[in-house]
Amino acid sequence: MVGPGVEAGGVDGETWSDHTDIRPTILALVGLTDDYAHDGRVLVETMSTPALPPAVSRPTTGLAGRDATYQQIESQIASFTKQRDSPAAQMIQLLEAAAFGGQPIDATKAGTLESQAAALLQQVRQAVGG
């Protein structure tokens, strides 16, 4: 990325990005918002400090040199992601079937999925101490 507000660093080999990150990054750079739910994130690593949105900061280096802690956190995130994927896929199937297949949403199934999601959110909150 190049342009006003973007640091001149080129490919750094450490910043991972995906095409879904481009839209929120560009919006942040130009100071615009919209009501679209972004799948990506603002690539703060590429932005110069004055261009960062006020409530956004650069990723922390607090775990630098603490490989065991990093691995533990990564493992925990992977576990949460695995637990999330199945109910999320089932929710998407229910919504797609209702929107495009004319199938009413099964209230019992939706309630079960909602309970699973709430339980997972509680686990995540406990893990981060909040």
More confident residue, 14 or 103: 103
Q: Which of 66-70, 77-81, 87-91 has the lowest mean pLDDT?
A: 66-70
How far apart are alpha carbons 41 and 16 in whole angstroms? 11
- Give the mean pLDDT of 49-53: 82
Percent of residues, the chain, with pLDDT higher than 90: 38
Q: What is the pLDDT of residue 99?
A: 93
The reported pLDDT for the residue numbered 93 is 93
Domain residue spans of the chain: 1-59, 67-127
Sign of CA dihedral 44, 50, 51, 56: positive
Angle subtended at Cα 25 by Cα 5 and Cα 59, rounded to the nearest 5 degrees: 85
The reported pLDDT for the residue numbered 8 is 82
Q: How far is CA 16 from the centre of its chain?
A: 13
What average pLDDT does range 74-82 have in this prediction?
91
